[in-house]
Chain A
Amino acid sequence: MGIFSKIAQGLRKTKESLSKKFYALFVARELDDEFYDELEEALITSDLGVEASEQILEEFKQACYEKRVKKAEDAKDLLREIMIDSINYEIEPYSYPLVILVAGVNGVGKTTAIGKLAKYFTNQGKSVVLAAADTFRAAASEQLEVWANRSKVRIIKHEEGSDPAAVVFDALSSAKAKNTDVVLIDTAGRLQNKKNLMNELSKINKVVERECPNADYRTYIVLDATTGQNAVAQVEAFDEIIDIDGIILNKLDGTAKGGVVFAISVEREMPIVFVGVGEGVDDLLEFNAEDFITELF
């Protein structure tokens, strides 16, 4: 199955709820105030937030004016392009050895994402080791271990309650000794306003920077597509602490649209690298802005 149809499948349900709104809009009607009000409602109810919605609306109005488009049915592609542009970023290809640190607030699906990432890299013939650095949540390392077994990769774990930075150190040492291509670091969920937990994350980050100065090091934040505008604050706070390289947008198989990524884009350049579309080991897809928007419409 090609990536394209897989995205189509994963986003089908998302599409069903959102596209009704957008499809119903772009029919034979005038581009009048009523239309723009309804478009604003469609954007806001998709979690784009007030600012991003207004920004996209303004750009869209301007584009319609410049292209002398008068009918809604002819304006659909203009909106599509604007929305693609606002979340489309170049992503640098990976080089190896590669270290990926996965962080985020509680319950967004970090461990599941790591499990799927392990499969993603082993599919490409890479060797992978998992670092179970969520030493806080009950049974987190057991959960990761199940995923490690599914992808037949190694896992480094310590006792519950032990120092997560030490787990990371051990995983990195092990990877160096065995020439492992990819180290995937699972971290405990932490709300971004908990200063001591954010400091702990900073410590983990420093261990990687110190131990693997020559590795390709990426830090990803996992977002729950169901989350509203607080996701913007999440990205800001984590970015400040560990300089986030990209977003893994999880739980796109629900009815939520993950539209908050547009609000995040207003604030800072932050590429979405993967989307999670289910609980299966293969339900993690490379992000593609065009496919994403196509499926939204």
Chain B
Amino acid sequence: MGAFSGLSDKLSHIFSKLRDKGKLTELEVKQAMREVRVALLEADVNFSVVKQFVNNVTEKAVGEDILKGLNPTQQVIKLVNDELVAIMGTNHSKIEISDKPPTIILMCGLQGSGKTTMCGKLAVMLRKQGKNPLLVACDIYRPAAIKQLQVVGKNANVPVFEMGQIDPQKIVKGALKEAEKNQNDIVIVDTAGRLHIDDELMNEIEGLKKTFKPSEVLLVVDSMTGQDAVNVAQKFNEVMDVTGVVLTKLDGDTRGGAALSIRAVTGKPIKFCGTGEKLSDIEIFYPDRMASRILGMGDVLTLIEKAQNAYSEEEAKEMQKKFKENSFTLEDYLVQFEKMKSMGNIQQMIGMIPGLSGKLKGQDLDIDEKKVAQTKAIILSMTPRERQNPDIIKSSQKRRIAAGSGTSIQDVNALLKQFAQTKDMMSKMNNMGKRGMRLPF
């Protein structure tokens, strides 16, 4: 694996080396911390933040407690984890709702951080919570930015207020009237991307905050941001006194060290994460889960929550049984495929399962919508008997299935192969479960 694999893999690697040895010496702790330092720096955690982190953990680890502990390795992992959680904060946060509606949410951030898309995601999330949001287009500079928000609004099924490229103060004022008229209880203000060192534009957005006193000022930050994240966050926080941070593009392969840095310098909570291209791809940020994810412990909790949303308890029990017995059929596969769709990207899910992310990396696990439809067509073109027992599908059946589903024999073969792989993967997961790792199904 290259030098730029995730922080999670790095630390797993370091600790797997520690695990091989029975006891931890002071020297080993320091060695491990040297690698933790490199891993954190490569994950783009800010230099000073790393320094402080490493000093704190080393101080705690190199002491009697750790050396006398029954399981020194676990204690080191715990210490590193505790310290990560301490930096990233201990509570997750929700949108602060104003006593006097409408609640105003003001978005800010650099160019290209993903503000407009995040506005749409927040609107969708709040709508699901029974709110009635209004989106307001205040990016009066970037070409077609207003149009972009309009399209996002249309996809989110949320109204968009715009007055063209005029003073944002007037736009927000107009939007508040509109919100009152239409009983929108939430007003989400999209603003232009701006450099934290652009005084003119920083004054403009500071003015919006002063005039309209939003309940939330959310700083949107690209999770791929490097060392400069501290400067950006510091300056925006200084001017805007932000209420929270939103981390975007977390579905990339970045480990998002910026999250640590931003928390450390602003002390403000990271509230939400953007995790995909779709408007439903928004998650609450849980510092403790992020920490365990960074540590390679896997984000089991998030996985459970996602699975719970998509499955009923009965379905889950049934599934668990089939997992255990490995009696999983193509019919179940079809159901799974559709569930997965509602749960999000399968690769993302796999990444959350402890121990699996490294093993399955690079395998073809992507799901796109077209493929889901195709898979569905193929499985539905099989007889019930074939679905129960794919081994009986020979070439003449394959021809029939391909013709019936409007696909090719290669497509049918590919699906059967993928199904076999999935079954194989499940038996692996099952075995891991037997070794004492709890699976969230």
A-side residues, CB < 8 A to B, are: 13, 17, 41, 44-47, 49-51, 105-109, 115, 136-140, 142-143, 145-147, 160, 191-196, 224, 226-233, 236, 251, 253-257, 259-260, 267, 279
The stretch from B43-51, B122-130, B282-290, B333-341 touching chain A is B43-51
Cβ A254 vs Cβ B228 within 8 A: yes
Q: Contact partner of A13 among B4, B144, B150, B197, CB < 8 A? A: B197
Selected contact of A191 from candidates B38, B46, B251, CB within 8 Å? B251
Residue in B2, B144, B227, B254 whose CB lies within 8 Å of A47:
B227
- Check: B224 CB closer than 8 A to any chain A CB: yes
A228-B251 in contact (CB<8A): no
**A251→B198 CA distance, assembly (Å):** 13
A255 in contact with B44 (CB, 8 Å): no
Interface residue B249 (Cβ < 8 Å from any Cβ of A): yes
Whether the Cβ atoms of A143 and B364 lie closer than 8 Å is: no
Cβ-defined contact, A107 with B144, below 8 A: no
Q: Would you list 27 pairs from A and B whose C-beta atoms are within 8 A, ordered by A residue?
A: A41-B47, A50-B38, A107-B114, A108-B112, A115-B143, A137-B148, A139-B144, A143-B143, A143-B148, A145-B143, A191-B252, A191-B253, A192-B252, A193-B251, A193-B253, A227-B226, A228-B44, A233-B2, A233-B253, A236-B4, A251-B111, A254-B195, A254-B228, A254-B232, A255-B232, A259-B226, A260-B226
**A19 to B267, alpha carbons, bound, how many Å?**
28
**Interface-central residue, A109, A160, A193, A257, by most chain B CB under 10 Å:** A193
Q: In the A-B complex, list the 4 residue pairs whose CB atoms are closest, starting with the nearest.
A: A228-B226, A107-B112, A138-B151, A228-B44
Across the interface, B155 reaches (CB within 8 A) one of A108, A138, A279, namely A138
Counting chain B CB atoms within 10 Å of each CB, which of A105, A138, A143, A224 scores highest? A138
Identify the closest chain B residue to A253 (Cβ).
Answer: B195
A107 and B222 in contact, given A139-B147, A191-B249, A195-B366 (Cβ under 8 angstroms): yes
Chain B hits for A108, CB < 8 A: 112
Report how far A226 CA is from B251 CA in the complex, Å: 18
**Which B residues are in CB contact (< 8 Å) with A136?**
277
Whether B43 lies near A229 (C-beta < 8 A) is yes
A46 to B226, CA, bound (A): 9
User: 1/0 contact trace for B383-426 toward A, CB 8 Å?
Assistant: 00000000000000000000000000000000000000000000
Query: Interface size class for chain B?
Result: 35 or more
The verdict on B257 contacting chain A, using a C-beta distance below 8 Å, is: yes
Judge if B110 is at the interface, Cβ distance under 8 Å.
Answer: yes
Chain A residues lying within 8 Å of B116, measured Cβ to Cβ, are 138
Please report whether the interface of chain B is mostly helix, strand, loop or mixed according to DSSP.
Answer: loop
Instruction: Say if the beta carbon of B70 comes within 8 Å of chain A.
Output: no
The docked-state distance in angstroms from the alpha carbon of A236 to that of B148 is: 30
| Given pairs A137-B148, A146-B143, A255-B231, 11 additional interface contacts (CB within 8 A) | A45-B46, A45-B227, A49-B41, A106-B249, A138-B150, A138-B155, A194-B366, A227-B222, A228-B229, A232-B3, A255-B196
Residues of chain B within 8 A of A138, CB atoms compared: 116, 147-152, 155
Find the residue from A46, A109, A191 having the highest chain B CB count within 10 A. A191
Q: How far is it, in angstroms, between the C-alpha of A231 and the C-alpha of B366 when the chains are bound? A: 22
Which B residues are CB-close (under 8 A) to A137? 148
Chain B neighbourhood of A195, CB < 8 A: 364, 366
Interface residues of B (CB under 8 A from A): 2-4, 38, 41-44, 46-47, 110-114, 116, 141-145, 147-152, 155, 195-197, 222, 224-229, 231-232, 249, 251-254, 257-258, 277, 347, 364, 366, 368
Q: CA A44 – CA B230 in complex, angstroms?
A: 14
* Chain A hits for B114, CB < 8 A: 106-107
The answer to whether A147 and B143 touch across the interface, beta carbons within 8 angstroms, is: yes
Closest to A236 in B: B2
Q: Which residues of B contact A230 (CB under 8 A)?
A: 4, 44, 224, 252-254
A145 to B148, CA, bound (A): 13
CA distance A138 to B110 in the complex (A): 19
Asked if A254 and B226 sit within 8 Å, CB to CB, the answer is no
Check A105 against B226 for contact (C-beta < 8 Å).
no
Interchain CA distance A260-B42 in the complex, whole Å: 11
**A-B contacts at CB below 8 angstroms, number:** 156
Complex contacts, A236 vs chain B, CB 8 Å:
2, 4
Partner of A229, one of B226, B228, B249, B368: B226
Shortest Cβ distance from residue A243 to the other chain B in the assembled complex, whole angstroms = 18
A191 and B258 alpha carbons, distance in the complex (Å): 17
Least CB distance from A78 to B in Å reads: 23
Q: How far is the CB of A268 from chain B (nearest CB, A)?
A: 12
Most-contacted residue by chain B among A47, A105, A136, A194 (CB, 10 A): A194
User: Nearest-CB distance from A134 to chain B (Å)?
Assistant: 11
B113 to A107, Cβ gap below 8 A? yes
A194 to B249, CA, bound (A): 12
What is the minimal beta-carbon distance from B294 to any residue of chain A, in angstroms?
15
Closest to B368 in A: A196
| B-chain residues with CB within 8 Å of residue A228 when the two chains form the complex | 44, 224-227, 229, 254, 257-258
List, in ascending order, chain A residues with CB within 8 A of B2's CB: 233, 236
Given contacts A106-B249, A138-B148, A229-B42, contact A256 B226 (CB under 8 A): yes
CB-CB under 8 A from A47, the residues of chain B are 44, 226-228
Nearest residue, chain A, Cβ from B155: A138
The answer to whether B228 touches A257, judged by C-beta atoms less than 8 angstroms apart, is yes
- Give the nearest-CB partner of A254 in chain B: B195
| Nearest B residue to A266, CB-CB | B3
Q: How far is the CA of A26 from the CA of B420 in the complex (A)?
A: 63
What's the least CB distance linking A282 to chain B, in Å? 16
How far apart are B269's CB and chain A's nearest CB, in angstroms? 22
B143 touches A44 (CB 8 A): no
Alpha-carbon gap, A41 to B141, bound state (A): 37
Contacts of A253 in B (CB 8 A): 195
B89 smallest CB distance to A (angstroms): 21
Question: Shortest beta-carbon distance, A194 to chain B, in Å?
Answer: 7
Chain A residues positioned under 8 Å from B197 (CB to CB): 13, 254-255
Q: Determine the distance from Cα of A146 to Cα of B147 in the docked complex, in whole angstroms.
A: 12
Instruction: Return A47 CB to nearest CB of chain B, in Å.
Output: 4
B277 cross-chain contacts in A, Cβ below 8 A: 136
Q: Are B364 and A226 in contact (CB under 8 A)?
A: no
B41 engages A50 (CB within 8 Å): yes
Q: Which of chain B's residues have a CB closer than 8 A to the CB of A251?
A: 110-112
- CA gap between A255 and B227 in the complex, in Å: 10
* Chain B residues with CB below 8 A from A50, complex form: 38, 41-42
A44 with B41, Cβ < 8 A, contacts A147-B143, A251-B111, A255-B197 known: yes
A142 touches B143 (CB 8 A): yes
Residues of A within 8 A of B150 (CB): 138-139
